[in-house]
A = this chain, B = another copy of it.
Amino acid sequence: MRDFSRGPEHLAINQWTTRPWSLEQAIEGYARHGVRGIAVWRDKLAELGIARAVGMLKVHDMTVTGLCRAGLFPAADDAGRRAAIEENKRAIDEAVAIGARCVIIVGGGLPAGSKDIAGAHAQVRDGLAEILPYARAAKMPLALEPLHPMFAADRAVVNTLTHANDLCDALGAGLGVAVDVYHVWWDPNLEREIKRAGRARLLAFHVCDWLVPTTDLMLDRGMMGDGVIDIRKIRGWMEETGYAGFSEVEIFSARNWWQRPMDEVVRVCIERHRTVV
């Protein structure tokens, strides 16, 4: 395994970890602390503008580990499905423009009023099949991120790495996976499925921690080391499989970390990356 104890060389931060910061503040802030990887959110990118973002990323020698996020395919009608496809293509365009390593894809939840989860699974598969030729032509990998099953209703109906790997098998080149420990740590098949994915499909590795108790389904993720996830074991499985990319901190924490000074958050991310990840 790579030695993370010396510094933040392999550390990236997903900008929602420092959500109060603009993209400009995040790029400058991470760089100020020696962090050279960032995952960018589309709404923050739109605020700053593509050209300015590209310039700042270059000046600060920042790698974009992923653009968040696309997918979100299931819709109640054809117009909604077509709109989702177009939105995905725009996300791919933006990812190319800023030199992102991948586009993070979440499946999307049930359409409003629907109880048809099998239908939503099919819409995710069909939507991915439709955007993949565009992504391949743009040479932009799509990283399908299984979200925790507690998000199946409203955010993502792809909830296990097994399901994501099945979709990769079915849909072929251009599609890989993002492994976020928060979503998959509980899965007894996790090691098997990371190895099944293989080096070529492992496009991103996200870390945070599962708190006990967890007081909110969406916005109560913990800092690495504050919860129950054996992050280093999972990183070991990633690296045994050949993953050599960044370890990206992604923490949504409305009650704790978003309330603190953002420079403190970055400092703690760096410290925990050295000692816990």
Contact = CB atoms under 8 A, between A and B. Distances in A.
Interface of A: 110, 114-118, 121, 148-150, 152-154, 157, 159-160, 163, 185-188, 210, 212-214, 217, 227-230
Q: Secondary structure at chain A's binding surface: helix, strand, loop or mixed?
A: loop
Contact of A154 (B157, B187, B213, B230): B213
24 contacts: A110-B228, A115-B230, A117-B188, A117-B230, A121-B188, A148-B150, A149-B149, A149-B150, A149-B186, A149-B187, A150-B214, A152-B185, A152-B186, A153-B186, A153-B210, A153-B212, A153-B214, A153-B227, A154-B213, A159-B186, A163-B188, A213-B217, A214-B217, A217-B217
Contacts of A214: 150, 153, 217
A38 to B, nearest CB: 28
A160 B157 CA distance: 16
Contacts of A210: 153
Contacts of A110: 228
A265 to B, nearest CB: 23
Contacts of A148: 149-150
Contacts of A118: 188
Contacts of A229: 115
A124 to B, nearest CB: 11
Contacts of A185: 117, 152
Nearest to A115: B230
A160 B153 CA distance: 17
Contacts of A154: 212-213
Contacts of A152: 185-186
Q: Which 9 A-B pairs have the closest CB atoms?
A: A152-B186, A115-B230, A150-B150, A149-B186, A153-B228, A149-B149, A153-B212, A154-B212, A115-B228
Contacts of A114: 228
Nearest to A225: B115
A117 B186 contact: yes
B213 A186 contact: no
A213 to B, nearest CB: 7
Nearest to A231: B115
A115 B224 CA distance: 12
